[in-house]
């Protein structure tokens, strides 16, 4: 784009994309110096209000410094002009990293993983969402796919033109529910793509006269929308390191230790990966979300699932084998989600802790003794505060703001019924 508008953006603690627009003619200068921002912006709740008990107040100044590699063009569409969207880091006025920046949190976690272990992460975020319109078509059916047209074809084309590498678009199980997956990418790119994907889906729906929501539960008795985070480990040459044909679950020792760290800190992690009160209507057994804190082969009730590998056509298992974290949703900031998974995995690598791999044949009775996830956001936040290791992953500014935002959101919905809660949050996400 040579004319028009660019939007310089961050994704905040409520997973809302906020920022400032500039003329495209000023983009080159803005890439070098950024645009102004305010620390207190980190304390906005998903409902658009500043959390009262935040650490910032009215003072302080920041810059949103765009990453030149994290820009996408959204083309003009009829009377709606095109726009260039650039994701940015929040920095000090001198360009130094700001401790409260969620994108910087992930960048630092990846750096520490690389420097201490020589390992890299590849990841992909699998999103489910609801699209309004006819909802009586059968799950997974061709009829539902066609009923969503031209939205589906337009979405895939938009994601391809934006460089997000869509992999699969499908009608899902719940009424009006769809899923979109992207190809795996390096960790920061994968998280950036997750931020952008949600905006592109909602923006396209508006332009097509429809409404899309990523709310974890649109109806207390309905089907939930998750964000499943798929990830693998490789060395700095790109060689996969998770596969060992002789080990339980075919997980190498390094992969098993990484998984053990995630399981050990699961109660604290879920405060970050499922950070909205409505999230806990979804995270219950028998919803294929995350029925318990365990690692299992091909079990969709597991917090961590060892995904299957394809053997058709001579495909090799080692490059395919990866883990799927199932207790995340789109009320969570993708940079923080992947950042805490990396931190927990790194904590696991630093210990020699065994982890049990449940086979696909494990029954509900077999798994009855495995721990449950916290039953509410209140309990998850308490677990985060109690976990000294997990608290230590966060700069104080970031953790204090996170807790303030979450508690302000809890206070705002305290008197709502589950159905009212779902409706209110659906309007935001």
CATH classification of the domain holding 290: 3.30.590.10
**401: domain range?**
105-428
Token pair listed for 319: 């490059």
pLDDT score for 137: 84
Identify whether 85 is part of a domain.
Answer: no
In the three-class reduction of DSSP (H, G, I as helix; E, B as strand; rest coil), residue 275 is classed as: coil
Domain count for the chain = 1
Identify whether 50 is part of a domain.
Answer: no
> Following DSSP, what letter does each residue of 135-193 receive, concatenated?
--SPTT-HHHHHHTTTHHHHHHHHHHHTT--EEEEEE-SSTTEEEEEE--EEHHHHHHH
Identify whether 208 is part of a domain.
Answer: yes
Token pair listed for 42: 């980190």
Identify whether 16 is part of a domain.
Answer: no
- Mention every residue, 6+ apart, whose C-beta is less than 8 A from residue 409: 14, 45, 46, 47, 276, 277
pLDDT score for 291: 83
Q: pTM value?
A: 0.96
Identify whether 230 is part of a domain.
Answer: yes
pLDDT score for 135: 64
pLDDT score for 288: 81
Identify whether 4 is part of a domain.
Answer: no
Q: Tens of pLDDT along the chain (429 residues)?
A: 567 899 999 999 999 999 999 999 999 999 999 999 999 999 999 999 999 888 898 889 999 999 999 999 999 999 999 999 999 999 999 999 999 999 999 999 999 999 999 999 999 999 999 999 766 788 899 999 999 999 999 999 999 999 999 999 999 999 999 999 999 999 999 999 999 999 999 999 999 999 999 999 999 989 999 999 999 999 999 999 999 999 999 999 999 999 999 999 999 999 999 999 999 999 988 888 888 999 999 899 999 999 999 989 988 999 999 999 999 999 999 999 999 999 999 999 998 888 999 999 999 898 989 999 999 999 999 999 999 999 999 999 999 999 999 999 999 999 999 999 999 999 999
């Amino acid at each position: 784009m040579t004319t028009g508008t660019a939007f310089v953006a961050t994704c905040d603690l409520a997973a809302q994309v906020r920022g400032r627009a500039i003329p495209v003619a000023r983009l080159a200068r803005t890439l070098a110096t950024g645009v102004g921002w305010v620390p207190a912006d980190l304390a906005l709740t998903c409902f658009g209000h500043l959390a009262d008990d935040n650490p910032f107040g009215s003072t302080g100044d920041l810059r949103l410094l765009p990453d030149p590699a994290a820009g996408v063009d959204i083309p003009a569409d009829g009377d709606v002009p095109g726009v260039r969207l650039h994701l940015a880091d929040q920095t000090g006025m001198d360009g130094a990293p700001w401790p409260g920046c969620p994108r910087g949190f992930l960048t630092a976690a990846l750096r520490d993983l690389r420097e201490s272990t020589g390992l890299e992460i590849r990841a992909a975020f699998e999103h489910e969402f609801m699209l309004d319109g006819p909802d009586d078509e059968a799950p997974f059916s061709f009829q539902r796919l066609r009923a969503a047209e031209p939205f589906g074809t337009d979405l895939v084309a938009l994601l391809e033109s934006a460089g997000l590498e869509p992999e699969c678009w499908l009608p899902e199980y719940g009424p009006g529910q769809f899923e979109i997956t992207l190809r795996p990418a390096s960790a920061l790119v994968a998280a950036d793509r997750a931020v952008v994907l949600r905006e592109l889906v909602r923006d396209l729906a508006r332009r097509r006269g429809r409404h899309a929501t990523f709310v974890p539960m649109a109806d207390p008795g309905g089907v939930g929308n998750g964000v499943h985070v798929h990830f693998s480990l490789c060395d700095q040459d790109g060689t996969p390191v998770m596969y060992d044909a002789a080990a339980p679950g075919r997980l190498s020792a390094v992969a098993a230790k990484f998984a053990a760290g995630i399981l050990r800190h699961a109660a604290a992690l879920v405060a970050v990966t499922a950070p909205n009160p409505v999230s806990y209507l979804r995270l219950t057994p028998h919803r294929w979300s995350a029925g318990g804190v365990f690692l299992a082969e091909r079990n969709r009730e597991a917090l961590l699932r060892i995904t299957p590998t394809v053997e058709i056509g001579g495909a090799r298992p080692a490059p395919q084998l990866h883990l799927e974290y199932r207790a995340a949703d789109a009320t969570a900031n993708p940079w923080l989600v992947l950042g805490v998974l990396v931190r927990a995995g790194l904590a696991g690598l630093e210990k020699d802790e065994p982890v049990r791999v449940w086979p696909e044949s494990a029954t509900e009775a077999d798994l009855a003794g495995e721990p449950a996830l916290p039953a509410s956001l209140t309990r998850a936040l308490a677990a985060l505060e109690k976990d000294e290791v997990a608290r230590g992953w966060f700069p104080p500014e970031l953790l204090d703001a996170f807790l303030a935002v979450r508690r302000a959101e809890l206070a705002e919905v305290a008197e709502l019924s589950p159905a009212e809660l779902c409706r209110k949050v659906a309007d935001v996400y």
